[in-house]
Amino acid sequence: MRIDSHTHFFPKAFLEEIGRRGQPFGMELTPGPDGVPTLLMHGVPHPDLRPFLDVEHHLRRMNASQIDMHVVWQSSRPNVFWADADLGLALCQIINDEYADLVARHPGRFAAIASVPLQDIGRSVAEAERAVTKKQLSGVMANTNIRGRYLDDAYFWPLYELLQDLDVPLFLHPANVFGADKLRDFHLSFLLGLPAETTLSVARMIFSGVLDRFPKLRLFVPHGGGLLPFLAGRLDHGFEVRPECKKIERPPVEYLDRMLLDSVVYSSDILSFVVQKAGVNRVALGSDYPYDMADERAVSRVTQAGMSASSGELIMSENIRSFLKLPAR
């Protein structure tokens, strides 16, 4: 069995609600000539929505790629964090209800990660509990910062308490990248900004002691963990020599045992290094479908990374299945 841990799907009802109520927040849904709408976010169009909206696109992609299951979740855009708390909650409820229906309609083909309105932590906790316990979704996602507030902030601690109690992971997705004004050219906000933003957010969670305070909190870290595998030695050295980095219980690299990284690094050689640094049990197949930056060769990156068949099976199936506690097929 092969499971793609990193794919994105936008329920049609979610976008329709944005079209009805999003204009005061700079969001506009305009009809397209072929029936596929265009989403304008403060005047900037989202990429072609067709593959994000169409379940059949996902199923065809799975079949063509010899992948059995997609784990679907929201991306950094459009998400819900631009809205007020009332609209944010309404949008999350639509997403989570539609995701639960998707999983039920296609047994064994989809798993889904819940969205919560993190602009209101109380409503986030309530919606996370509903989505996991009543809708049987497999985790909760968050952007790496919410309106500039990073995830080490005590504001988010009630959610982490709940995730520990429910024993479901937090899926991270980079957004609102730092240094954005220097990254506008050459698609650098995506090529460099997203992995750097992920690294910053997770490093703050490590060094602030959040992962010590919540010892059962588990993180899904996309894009190969950002720069974490490559900077692990530097972070560990900071722990050894800098007093402000010594407030945690163990060296930073050891916190990788609480994380699952995806394989979206676009190179078998680099993937091999990520596996070596994080451990073969801490990496899962991912593609970032259906963005244009999706890795169309995600499966072959794993098979060509010089690993044993049993290691390849862990990365392509068992690690994410175990992480999300999905039933074995």
Give residue 33's pLDDT band: very low, low, confident or very high (50, 70, 90).
confident
Q: What is the mean pLDDT of residues 254-269?
A: 97
The pLDDT of residue 34: 78
Q: What is the pLDDT of residues 155-172, one digit of tens each?
A: 999 999 999 999 999 999
**Is 3.30.43.10 the CATH classification of the domain at 3-324?**
no
Instruction: Output the CA torsion sign for 143, 11, 315, 195.
Output: negative
Q: What is the pLDDT of residues 71-130, one digit of tens each?
A: 999 999 999 999 999 999 999 999 999 999 999 999 999 999 999 999 999 999 999 999
Residue among 127, 153, 4, 156 nearest 66 (CA): 4
Quick check: 259 and 198 in contact, CB under 8 A? no
CA 95 to chain centre: 15
Mean pLDDT of the chain: 96
Quick check: 52 and 10 in contact, CB under 8 A? yes
**217, two tokens:** 């909190």
Residue among 91, 99, 76 nearest 176 (CA): 76
Give residue 31's pLDDT band: very low, low, confident or very high (50, 70, 90).
confident
* Secondary structure class of 229 (helix, strand, coil): helix
* Secondary structure class of 141 (helix, strand, coil): strand
The pLDDT of residue 294: 94
Question: What does pTM read for this prediction?
Answer: 0.96
Quick check: 315 and 307 in contact, CB under 8 A? yes
* Secondary structure class of 267 (helix, strand, coil): coil
The pLDDT of residue 35: 78
The single residue listed with the structure tokens 């696109």 is 57
The pLDDT of residue 26: 96
CA 186 to chain centre: 24
* Secondary structure class of 282 (helix, strand, coil): helix
d(CA 263, CA 308): 16
* Torsion angle (degrees, nearest 10) of CA 275, 279, 285, 288: -70
d(CA 128, CA 311): 33
d(CA 302, CA 199): 23
**DSSP letter (8 states) at residue 289:** B
The pLDDT of residue 5: 98
d(CA 71, CA 87): 25
* Secondary structure class of 41 (helix, strand, coil): strand
Domain boundaries, the chain: 3-324
Give residue 24's pLDDT band: very low, low, confident or very high (50, 70, 90).
very high
The pLDDT of residue 328: 80
* 27-30, strands of its sheet edge to edge: 27-30, 38-41, 44-45
**Residue 131: phi, psi to the nearest 5?**
-65, -35
Quick check: 290 and 60 in contact, CB under 8 A? no
> 38-47, 213-222, 247-256 — which is least confidently predicted?
38-47
